[in-house]
Structure 1
Amino acid sequence: MKRPLFLIIASIAVSLPAVCFAANEEIQVYMDDMSEPGQLGVDVHHNYVPSGDANAPYPGGLAARHQYRLTPEFYYGLTNNLELGLYLLTARASDGTAHFEGEKVRVKYIAPHDADNGAFWGANLEVGRTNLYASPQAWNAELKGIIGYRSGRWTFAMNPNVDWSLSAGGGPVTLDVDGKVAYKVTEKTQIGFETYNELGPLRHLQGWSQNSKTVYLALDHDFGAFDLNAGIGRGVTSDADKWVVKCIIGTHF
């Protein structure tokens, strides 16, 4: 019981307005981490936009500037290679009003591999139903590729992500590519960079200066009872939020 209690206390602490840790409900590069069969885990995603667009992206949507997102993610290990997950999306708008935005479910597969060295790969399929606060389309899906390589203290990973709407008239299929480079400073601490890049419609990819592209200085640390991923992001295109702060706290039961 100590681990879940500590997780809740830590999550509440980083949720306070003075230190809020909107961008997407989850800002992370998917890796090869998996829950053991029969094991339940939870990640609490926090992200906050101190500097971004003050206008709503569409009628009924929430402006990014000063928006804070809190997303609990529950996941369960089915086998050594399969994991199920559930997201509960919430947001606090710049005027202080709180909103529940919907739910998403996922199934993640990671192929057998050496966890310490060499290549790893897998995929994550996500389907969600959200309200207008989160998206103009109610039903959406994403197929996330997971590709990575470890060599000594270095870790490299990439997620090519294909997104599409399951709602009628939902628009084109789009592509974004996320990446991570991390260096192991100690056995429990990594520092590095993460990058999140929207490339536009899959059939007509757009130029580098278009759409949202953000680079994060990131820290990963294993505290034993829980793990932490935190980062400060800087938008590098005009469509991106100028600054984003993110924090993910996770544990297993």
Structure 2
Amino acid sequence: MRRLLPLLPLLLAAAPGAPAARAAGFDEFQVFDGRITQPGGFDLNLHLNFGRRGIREAGEGAPRNGALFTAEIGYVTAPWHEVALYLPVAREFSGDVFGGGFKLRNSFVVPGAADRPVAYGFDVELRHQPYRFTSADWGVTLRPIIDLRRGPWQLILNPAVEFPLGRDGPVFAPAVRGVLQVAEQHWIGLEHYMDFDRIDRPAKPGGQAHQLFATTDWKISERFALHLGLGHGLTRASDRWLGKVILSVDF
């Protein structure tokens, strides 16, 4: 697949986390830029997030701080379409391990996004996850993709809207990523993940989730890429120190 490739450390470390709040609904930290491989190609992304909670709100069996590992398997059906399956597994600090259901994402993109100064696309993501991860077991995310490039700079916008099925109303959860290419195969960047809660009843500033990450990316070879990130929450409803690693493999 496109973008960032992450490598999987063996360490499932855990760092202290802030108390979870309704708006703090992240269970994955990834910004989509609309680049996909050639039709007929598979890709595998291995995600590791650690030092954070994997749920929307505390209570009722909420997992403690720990690690979340996700295998993402993608297949490109056409120059403009990719389908990907996410299979998350969480590990609490106490050692408890449990599955996180699945996500199925369909990406519709402009062909040749990597060579365009302005590219765009659209994701439709269906998920089924237990209540330890989310406030509703079924949900749909609609994620526009806007990718702007100029010289070594890149700005990616994902103004996503999440629809928990059968509970609550739609949630506005945008993400933005700024990238600077510093060498032929090396990039640095900043990512900001936001959760404003329900569109019809947004949370007050202190109840919103805002996670800021400093990231670095390496293109290791034609098939392998590595993405590393260190993040910190900006509000009381956000997690504190977080780490993430993504190893991407194109087949």
The 3 A distance-change label for structure 1 pair 226 and 235 is same
Q: Give 1:56 shift.
A: 6.5
Give the Cα–Cα distance (whole angstroms) in 2 for the partners of residues 230 and 18 of structure 1: 15
The answer on whether the counterparts of 2:177 and 2:190 sit within 8 Å (CA) in structure 1 is yes
1:239 equivalent in structure 2: 237
Q: Show the counterpart of 1:59.
A: 60
Cross-structure match for 1:4: none
| CA deviation after TM superposition for structure 1 residue 142, in Å | 0.6
Change beyond 3 A, Cα 1:25–1:250: farther
Deviations 1:48-67 (A, max 9, x none): 116x79x971312213x2x1
Match of 1:196 among 193, 197, 208: 193
1:171-198 residue CA offsets vs partner (Å, 9 max, x unmatched): 1110011001110001211101000011
Instruction: After TM superposition, list the pairs within 5 Å mapping 1:40-189 onto structure 2.
Output: 40-49=42-51, 57-63=58-64, 65=65, 67-112=66-111, 115-166=114-165, 168=166, 170-189=167-186
SS in 1 for 2:32: coil
Q: What TM-score results when the alignment is normalised by the length of structure 2?
A: 0.87
User: What CA distance in whole angstroms lies between the structure 1 residues aligned with 2:211 and 2:71?
Assistant: 23
Tell me which residue corresponds to 2:20. none
State the alpha-carbon separation in 2 of the partners of residues 210 and 17 from structure 1.
28
Compute the displacement of 1:19 (Å). 9.2
Query: Quick check: 1:25–1:70 contact (8 Å CA) kept in 2?
Result: no
Which of the pair is proportionally richer in helix? 1
Structure 1 residues 238 and 143: CA distance shift in structure 2, 3 A = same
Contact 2:87 2:103 in 1 (8 A): yes
For 2:249, the equivalent position in structure 1 comes to: 251
Tell me the TM-score normalized by structure 1. Answer: 0.86
Identity value in percent? 24
1:17 pairs with 12, 17, 21, which one?
12
In 2, distance between residues paired with 1:139 and 1:56?
16
Runs of 5+ unmatched residues, structure 2:
18-24
Maintained 8 Å contact 1:218/1:230 = yes
Secondary structure of 1:60's counterpart equals coil
**How many aligned positions are there?**
237
Are the structure 2 counterparts of residues 214 and 120 from structure 1 closer, same or farther at C-alpha, using a change threshold of 3 Å?
same
AA aligned to 1:38 is: G
Higher relative contact order (CA 8 A, sep 6+): 2
- Cα pair 1:56 1:62 within 8 Å, conserved: no
Give deviations 1:195-240, integer Å, cap 9, x for gaps: 0011121123344433110111011110013111110001110100
Unaligned runs of 5+ in 1: 1-6
What's the C-alpha RMSD, in Å, of the aligned pairs? 2.4
SS at match of 2:200: coil
The answer for the alignment partner of 1:227 in structure 2 is 225
Helix, strand or coil: the match of 1:78?
A: strand
Asked whether the equivalents of residues 13 and 67 of structure 2 are also in contact (C-alpha less than 8 Å), the reply is: no
Structure 1 contact 46–70 (Cα < 8 Å) conserved:
yes
Per-residue Cα deviation, 1:94-134 (whole angstroms, up to 9, x for no partner): 10111112111110011235523411111111111112322
Partner Cα separation in structure 1 for residue 14 and residue 237 of structure 2: 25
CA distance in 2, matches of 1:175, 1:145: 12
Equivalent of 1:29, from 11, 31, 34?
31
Aligned AA (2:48): H
Structure 1 moving runs of 4+ over 6 Å: none
